[in-house]
Structure 1
């Protein structure tokens, strides 16, 4: 997935809230879903989008799927902006 897909994923408020939750600790799908007043299929779709962009990872632990924030992707985004600023500064 490219940066456009990542930014599109970040444009949704629910997905941003999920990322904030995962920045505090790893959570099961059920724990994430219980924090929202949305249907399970809707939350599942959000999780799939976040996972497809690499923003989160999942791991099956017994009967649960545990989601984690993938900080590597956020580091890549920071590098992108740092390089963009550097190019902008060089070009005046």
Structure 2
């Protein structure tokens, strides 16, 4: 779960997730929304992949990114579980 929160801690990565909420996008299409170098954006994509927040598939020469909402749901469930435990104390 720490990996998820670390990935969510950067505004660029949160914006990538917000864009992917609308549907799958190629790395090139995502890059058009940012004024940062592609290698830097690639680092952000890798952080999101490591946290399993995005899934990636290759279509020809393009990488297509998809939002993985199940990981976000699991993280939210973990937070709610912690809240429930605190309320029981």
The two structures share one fold, judged by TM-score above 0.5: yes
For the superposition of Structure 1 and Structure 2, which TM-score range results when normalised by the shorter chain? over 0.9
Query: What TM-score does the superposition give when structure 1 sets the normalisation length?
Result: 0.92
Unaligned runs of 5+ in 1: none
Q: Distance in 2 between matches of 1:5 and 1:16?
A: 14
Q: Which runs of 4+ in 1 moved over 2 A?
A: none
Matches within 5 A, 1:10-29: 10-29=8-27
- 1:19-64 residue CA offsets vs partner (Å, 9 max, x unmatched): 1000111100000111100111011110011001101110001121
- Preserved CA contact (<8 Å) 2:4 2:75: no
Query: What TM-score does the superposition give when structure 2 sets the normalisation length?
Result: 0.95
Unaligned runs of 5+ in 2: none
CA RMSD of aligned residues (A): 0.8
Q: Distance in 1 between matches of 2:39 and 2:10?
A: 16
